[in-house]
Amino acid sequence: MKFFMIINGRKIKQYMVIVFAAFFAAALAFLSQEQLAVFSSKDGPRAIYKGEEKGNKVALTFDISWGEKRALPILDILKAEGVKNCTFFLSAAWAERHPEVVDRIVKDGHEIASLGYQYKSYTEFEDQQVKRDILTAQEKLKKVSGKLTSLLRPPNGSFDKRVLNISEDLNHTVVHWSVDTKDWKNPGVDKIVQNATADVKAGDIILLHASDSVKQTHKALPNIIQKLKSDGYKFVSVTEMIANTQANSKEVQ
C-alpha cells in the first residue's frame, strides 16, 4: 500500500508539472497575442517595422488624420533643423481638406504615404471596403500631392493577415514601427524625447504624430532631432530605409 501511494504521489507531481507548464504556456501565448497579434503567424504576408541595422539610419514618420494647427509648426521645425526625408502618413480625406499643407510637405522634401481614406480600422471592414479605401486613398493623395503612394500604414496601426493580403494584391507595403513615442498621449515633452531616443538603434522606424491631438510633439521635436544627430544618426525616408536592404519584417496572422 505504501508503494502504491508513492507511485501515485510521483504521478500527481508529474501531472502538476504538466498542468503548470500548460498554464504558463497558455498565459505566455495570451500575452504575446495581446502585444504582438499583428506579427504572430508562421506563414503569410509580412509588415515592415524596421530597416536594416547598418548605416546609422533612422526614419521619422508622422501620422496625420485631422486638424491643421500642429502640422505646419512641425514642418517649420524640421526645416529649421535641416531635416528632410521624413515620411508623412496622411489620411487622404484629411489631405483633401488641407492641400496647402500637403504641398508644403512635398516642397520641403518629405515623403507622402497613405494612412487610408476614412481613417477607420481595416480589421472592422469587409474585404471590398478595405480595397476601396486603399485605392480611394491612393487616388486622392495622388491628386493632391502628385505622388503615387505605395506605402500604407493602416488606420490605428490595426491590421491582420487578411488586410496584409489585400494590401499586397494592391501593390502596397504595410509599414508599422519599431519605436513608439506615444506622443498622442501627451505625456510631457521630456517623456516624448525619452521614448523617441532612449533605445533607438540603426534601422528604427519612429512613430510620431502631427494631428491636432498632439500638443507636445512640436516642443519635443528639436530635442529629438538634436539627440539623434549627436548619436550619429542620419534621417531617411521609409522608402530609402527599406530599399535594397534586408528590412526586418514580422509575419502576420
Q: How many Cβ atoms from other residues are within 10 Å of residue 121's Cβ?
A: 15
Phi, psi angles (nearest 5°) of residue 199: -120, 25
- Asked about 63 being catalytic, the answer comes back as yes
Q: For residue 249, which of 46, 38, 53, 60 has the smallest C-alpha distance? A: 46
* CA atoms of 105 and 85, how far apart (whole Å): 10
* CA atoms of 203 and 36, how far apart (whole Å): 19
Within 37-188, residue ranges assigned H as helices are: 71-80, 92-97, 99-107, 127-145, 161-169
Out of 190, 209, 212, 231, pick the active-site residue.
Answer: 209
- Asked about 218 being catalytic, the answer comes back as no
* CA atoms of 83 and 226, how far apart (whole Å): 10
All 3 cell numbers of residue 56?
A: 546609422
All 3 cell numbers of residue 235?
A: 534621417
All 3 cell numbers of residue 250?
A: 514580422
Residue 171, H or E segment: none
What would you report as the CA-atom Rg of the chain, rounded to the nearest whole angstrom?
22
* CA atoms of 42 and 205, how far apart (whole Å): 23
Alpha carbon 112 to its chain centroid, in Å, reads 15
* CA atoms of 233 and 227, how far apart (whole Å): 9
Out of 63, 133, 183, 204, pick the active-site residue.
Answer: 63
The residues annotated as belonging to the active site are: 63, 209
